[in-house]
Amino acid sequence: MKILKWILIVLVVIIGVPLIIALFTKKDYKVEREIVINKPKMEVYNYVKYLKNQNDYSKWALMDPNLRKTFRGTDGTVGFVSAWESDNKDVGKGEQEIKGMKDGERIDYEIRFIEPFAGTSTAYMTTEAISPTQTKVKWGFDGKMSYPMNFMLVVMDVEKAIGDDLQTGLTNLKKLLEK
């Protein structure tokens, strides 16, 4: 009976402590990375505004060569949706929609994850002229983890995990556009 009592106490601690910590943990996160591309701003913007082009530089799209993609609407315009489905659990299933655009400067997206977990995040890309032949591209990602999943923000370095993937995508984009 004493062993059962100790097992119960350990289980309460293992389950209860993270749940209590999650009550006091932030739920939002924001990650942003940037790179300078040696091309004029409008040339860069006119490439990144098309969601289909992410297949050529996004780390997530490149993780599964058998990725199944479907599209709805007119690419490069508000309302266009790019959906994906993968058997790779790190890629999963979801869709990305262009929600807003400021010509030559910014594209806003809504990303809806379906599998392996459900959730919605926002993302954006901005282009800023550094010189007539150089453009700073920023790729950002904002998300929210509801309680109790927000405990993951304590144990996982979201800034590094997502940030490294964004940086890989930007590095790929730079190589692609500077060819």
**Residues 59-108 pLDDT 10s:** 988 989 899 999 999 999 999 999 999 998 888 999 999 999 999 999 99
- Tell me which DSSP letter residue 75 carries: T
The residue with greater pLDDT, 29 or 151, is 29
Report the percent of the chain where pLDDT is more than 90.
59
One-letter amino acid identity for 88? N
Mean pLDDT rounded to a whole number for the chain: 89
Q: How far apart are CA 33 and CA 164, in angstroms?
A: 8
Q: How far apart are CA 57 and CA 151, in angstroms?
A: 31
Contact predicate 83/95, CB 8 Å: yes
What DSSP line would sit under 106-154, residue for residue?
EEEEEEEEEESS-EEEEEEEEEEEEETTEEEEEEEEEEE--TTGGGHHH
Confidence (pTM) = 0.80
Domain at 27-177, CATH homologous superfamily: START domain (3.30.530.20)
pLDDT of res. 176: 97
Any idea where the domains of the chain sit in the sequence?
A: 27-177
Q: What is the pLDDT of residues 135-162, one digit of tens each?
A: 999 999 987 776 677 667 666 767 787 8
Contact predicate 22/153, CB 8 Å: no
- Tell me which DSSP letter residue 88 carries: S
